[in-house]
Amino acid sequence: MELFEELQWRGLVNDVTSPDLENEINNGELTFYIGTDPTADSLHIGHYSSLLMAKRLQKHGHHPIMLVGGATGFIGDPKATGERSMLTPEVLAHNYEALHRQISDLFGFQMVNNLDWTKDLSIIDFLRDYGKFFNVTYMLNKETVKKRLESGISYTEFSYMILQSLDFLHLLEEYNCQMQIGGQDQWGNITSGLELIRKKKGADVKAYGLTMPLITKADGTKFGKSESGTVWLDPEKTSPYDLYQFLFNTEDAKVGEYLKKLTFLTPEEIDDLEKQQAEAPHLRPAQKALAAEVVRDLHGQEALDTALAITEALFRGRLQELTPKQRHQAVAPMEKMEIAANLPLEDVLVQTGIAKSKREAREWTKCNSIAINGVKVTDPMHIVGADDMYADDCVILKKGKKNQYCLHLV
């Protein structure tokens, strides 16, 4: 299949601004851009599909530009739920530098900062040269703005679409950038940019927009959120092991979609994995492939090997085989149960609610059902203290074959 058809098969095309774009993507050499604002010092897994979209197009001869919004970050893209908190210049500068390094290291894309062409723009020039081309009624009809009219929207956030439109015009003029790509929630901003280009450069200028469906979980919530928080691309914020576990725990109903959107596996390979998944869902072949592909692509084979080693050690109870660094990765994402140090094991089991009574705790312990850090403990009066700490002041306690707990000793 041709490239545009494959993008549709992968579920990466929500809408396009012109039917001509299919031919341009299949046969042209477009310069295009994807933008993000430096609201944090790392991208998260929810951004990953967009970045892979850029790589897919790049592999077929198109040229990606990654825009990190040093200027638009000061303003904030309007959310449907309310005003954003404004970040300080120092935080924005730190976040910009962090994202610049991350994107350059991971993907090698050409990088631009919209602060470079807006920082010296006077308010008079902004209103005369750009604001004059935006009809307020047109702006009010944009979906996100309409959602905010009842609760209220500041003029600052209302003006965001003008700044983003200015970006598209500038990149067209400076780099012959003919296409902007964004999530489906960016449709209003993208079409506003095209409208500005049409009014400033003429209707014959070739410029396009493409939006991608937002990736969600089966319950409709945002993809990239876990019980412990956002899943980041920075391995210092989300370890490769934690990322592997997040993807390994993907719902069966969504794993096929994620394989299409988040990996470079071929249609044939994905079809085969979906068949394996249907035949043996308990073995989770599709989830294993998804987790392995993403971790390897982002962090390399060594990081994937570490994630697999930690997973195997936790599953098999061979916790003593892990290095100190691997132990830290294993413990970091676990839900912690705080318990005082230097208590007898039977008291620990009762106070954490793992056992209902001391009698039950003693029975489990004497029957070889309790392990601390992978080692069986048969003495219910064993003192759980400093000598038992596995990593980060934590002890990993296992009851039976499946119930595992992370105890934080305080």
The annotated binding site for ATP is made up of 225
Other beta carbons less than 10 A from residue 261's beta carbon:
19
Residue linked to tokens 């790392």: 42
CA-CA distances (angstroms) from residue 6 to 101, 228, 261, 266, 268?
30, 34, 11, 10, 12
As a whole number of angstroms, the distance between CA 339 and CA 336 comes to 9
Q: And the tokens for 253?
A: 């109903």
- Pair 16, 208: CB distance under 8 Å: yes
Residue 90: its H or E element: helix 89-107
> Which of 373, 403, 391 is CA-nearest to residue 333?
391
Report the candidate in 208, 204, 176, 170 with the shortest Cα–Cα distance to residue 190.
208
Binding-site residues, please?
33, 160, 164, 225
The token pair at 330 is: 């294993």
**Residue 239, both tokens:** 């370890």
Identify any residues that bridge with 112 across adjacent strands, giving them in sequence order.
67
How many other C-beta atoms lie within 10 A of the C-beta of residue 131?
Answer: 14
